[in-house]
Amino acid sequence: MNFTITSLRTTFFIFTLFILFIFTFCSISRHLYIELKDIEEITLEPLDIEINRKYCGANKCKFLFPYVVEEQETQCNRHFISLMQIAQRIDRIIVLPNVGGSSISSLKSFPFDFYYNLDELSKRFPKVKFILQKEFQKWANELYNKPDTIHVSLRNSRSNPKYISQYDIPFIDKLLKKYRIGRFDLKLNNSTIFKRINVGKNGRGSRQNRENNDLKEFLSAELESNAEVMLITQNEIRGPLFERLTPMPYARHIINTTSNLIKKLNPYIAIHWRMERGQIDLMSKCAEGLVTYLRNLTLTTGITNIYLATDYPLAENNNNKSQSRTFHYIYEEHHIAMKILNSSFNLNTWVSTHMLDYLKSYPAKEEQLQIELEGTGIQGIFDKLILIQADYFIGGPKGCCRFDSTYTNHVMETREELFKNNGSIKNIIDRWEL
Ligand SMILES: *[C@@H]1O[C@H](CO)[C@@H](O)[C@H](O)[C@H]1NC(C)=O
Ligand SMILES: *[C@@H]1O[C@H](CO)[C@@H](O)[C@H](O)[C@H]1NC(C)=O
Ligand SMILES: *[C@@H]1O[C@H](CO)[C@@H](O)[C@H](O)[C@H]1NC(C)=O
Ligand SMILES: *[C@@H]1O[C@H](CO)[C@@H](O)[C@H](O)[C@H]1NC(C)=O
Ligand SMILES: *[C@@H]1O[C@H](CO)[C@@H](O)[C@H](O)[C@H]1NC(C)=O
Ligand SMILES: *[C@@H]1O[C@H](CO)[C@@H](O)[C@H](O)[C@H]1NC(C)=O
Ligand SMILES: *[C@@H]1O[C@H](CO)[C@@H](O)[C@H](O)[C@H]1NC(C)=O
């Protein structure tokens, strides 16, 4: 009997517990359900708004992202100015891509301010807001609803002056494989709009100088889009699209180290010898011609300090890699020519002066800095600044070097300004004789 009663009680107790459990579970899960629903309906959007406010000071962010800018530094510097002008026109925040290897590209490892001075840039473009690539990447990462995209390629034509806009077949695979766009958390699929815009014959030469208000208006209309991220690239554009402005100013750390060296060298003669495209069989003769020229110049001016900027591989242990992205083969003749020159004069270079050694303390991986300094990189900017301020600037004659380049032109133009406005320099450019 006792047993049965106890058993019945126990059963009742367990049953009650069970009911209580069910009740509690239901109420918890109902509660949970409501909360999830709340989050979905009410809080998801506001969270993105918060994130947008944090990164761009507005409820919605609209970015212009030039993920790769073509050509080497002197040129992509100019192209980037055109992009700043476009960003201003269409009122988008421009993403400042990484830099490295003498280029501006989201594939590189250094932040934009490794090469350029952001304070000076915002003084030059007070109406343009910008964000570093790393911050932009964080923004997209944090968002619940990933940003939608539009892709624009700008190109020009040799013969057709018309502005044309057309839809392109999406090339998502190329963006993912070649440009590794997948690192950015963007909404990108075959329904993303790809536009190709032909800007007529504009931007064909680096000396172009037109305000091009009609092109600005055309672009404003064609680049109208609600997409949060406008990916932009350009093909075959070799010069400014609008009025030509002075290049983007370089980072303070580079300016600082160049002015320290200039103080030490002053007065000095700077030689620019870009061996690329020089005739191999002329190399020794070229070096002898330069030695003769310099003997005379040092004698007549009394200036003995010589700085050499070259694409010849200067960095030690760099496996004969030239300091130019387009100069691939270094031959015995190049080495002989350099020996002829180096045995006649004490040559100062960015390597011999150790003026870039301070970069070792730059917050970057050692390996990345090594890659930067053994090929083409920040030393090209350093050289350019030293060439610009030299008392005498000496370039090579035809046959000995790449005679004409936008790099040399930039040096000459800036020297022309200095020459006109400031008596501190003695020539714009002279060429030694073969
Ligand atoms: C592309 O993405 C959009 C937005 O996420 C989506 O609505 C659409 O279905 C996707 N299209 C394809 C073809 O995957
Ligand atoms: C986009 O479409 C192309 C051709 O229509 C196809 O080959 C490709 O796989 C698609 N890519 C994606 C990411 O859906
Ligand atoms: C500029 O150079 C001087 C002298 O070498 C150095 O003491 C100073 O820290 C440098 N400043 C910057 C901003 O690099
Ligand atoms: C030597 O340099 C002076 C000017 O610096 C020039 O007038 C003269 O022609 C040069 N002589 C030779 C042999 O190059
Ligand atoms: C560089 O090139 C020279 C001449 O072609 C050759 O003698 C030398 O071994 C090369 N050095 C390296 C590190 O490859
Ligand atoms: C010139 O020679 C010196 C010592 O002989 C050497 O350290 C330096 O690297 C050489 N410079 C160039 C540009 O070859
Ligand atoms: C001339 O240029 C030098 C070097 O760039 C600079 O130190 C000097 O202040 C300038 N002088 C004038 C009058 O602008």
Q: Which of 190, 218, 230 has the alpha carbon at shortest distance from 87?
A: 230
- Name the residue with the closest Cα to ligand 5, atom 10: 320
Residue 30 domain-assigned?
no
The pLDDT assigned to 43 comes to 47
Residues with CB under 6 A from ligand 3: 252-253, 256, 260
Render pLDDT for 333-388 as a digit per residue (tens, 0 to 9): 999 999 999 999 999 999 999 999 999 999 888 899 988 998 889 999 999 999 99
Query: What was the pLDDT predicted at 422?
Result: 80
Q: Do 402 and 277 share a structural domain?
A: yes
Mean pLDDT score across all residues of the chain: 89
Domain boundary among 205, 235, 265: 235
Q: Which atom of ligand 1 is nearest to 148's Cα?
A: 4
pLDDT at 190: 87
pTM for the whole structure: 0.85
- How many whole angstroms from 306 Cα to the centroid of ligand 4? 17
Listed in sequence order, the residues at least 6 apart from 271 whose beta carbon sits closer than 8 Å to its beta carbon are 290, 294, 306, 307, 308, 309, 310, 394, 395
> Ligand 7, atom 1: nearest CA belongs to which residue?
422
pLDDT of residue 17: 55
> Is residue 27 over pLDDT 70?
no
Cα 386 to ligand 3 centroid, rounded to whole Å: 17
Same-domain pairing of 333 and 207: no
Residue 53 lies in a domain: no
332 CB less than 6 Å from ligand 5? Answer: yes
The pLDDT, as a whole number, for residue 398 is 94
Q: What's the 188 CA to ligand 2 centre distance in angstroms?
A: 11
Residue pLDDT, tens place only, 79-92: 999 999 999 999 99
Here the CATH number for the domain that contains residue 161 is: 3.40.50.11340
Residue among 341, 352, 353 to mutate when testing ligand 6 (max atoms within 8 A of CB): 352
Secondary structure string (H, E, C) spanning 93-120: EEEECCEECCEEECCCCECHHHCECHHH
Rounded Cα distance, 90 and 62, in Å: 10
Structural domain range at position 118:
63-235
Are 320 and 223 within one domain? no
- pLDDT for residue 55 is more than 90: yes
DSSP 3-state of 309: strand
Give the end of a domain, one of 209, 235, 261: 235
Q: Distance between CA 318 and CA 321 in Å, rounded?
A: 6
Mean pLDDT across the stretch 425-429? 95
Same domain, yes or no: 165 and 281: no
* pLDDT over threshold 60, residue 233: yes
Give residue 260 CA to ligand 3 midpoint distance, Å: 9
Q: What is the pLDDT of residue 301?
A: 97
Q: Are 427 and 288 within one domain?
A: yes
pLDDT level of residue 41 (50, 70, 90 thresholds):
very low
Q: Is residue 26 part of a domain?
A: no
Which tens digits make up the pLDDT trace of 392-421? 999 999 999 988 888 999 999 999 999 998
> Is the model's pLDDT at 7 over the cut of 70?
no
Q: What are phi and psi of 100, to 5 degrees?
A: 155, 155
Domain count, the chain: 2
Is residue 39 included in any domain, yes or no? no
Residue 244 in this model has a pLDDT that exceeds 80: yes
The pLDDT of residue 181 is above 90: yes
Domain check: are 167 and 256 in the same one? no
Strands (E), 133-205: 149-155, 163-167, 193-199
Does position 22 have pLDDT exceeding 70, yes or no?
A: no
Q: Are 396 and 294 in contact (CB under 8 A)?
A: no
Closest-approaching ligand to the CA atom of 145: 1
Q: Is the pLDDT of residue 6 over 60?
A: no
* 118, 255 contact by CB (below 8 A): no
Residue 173 resides in a domain: yes
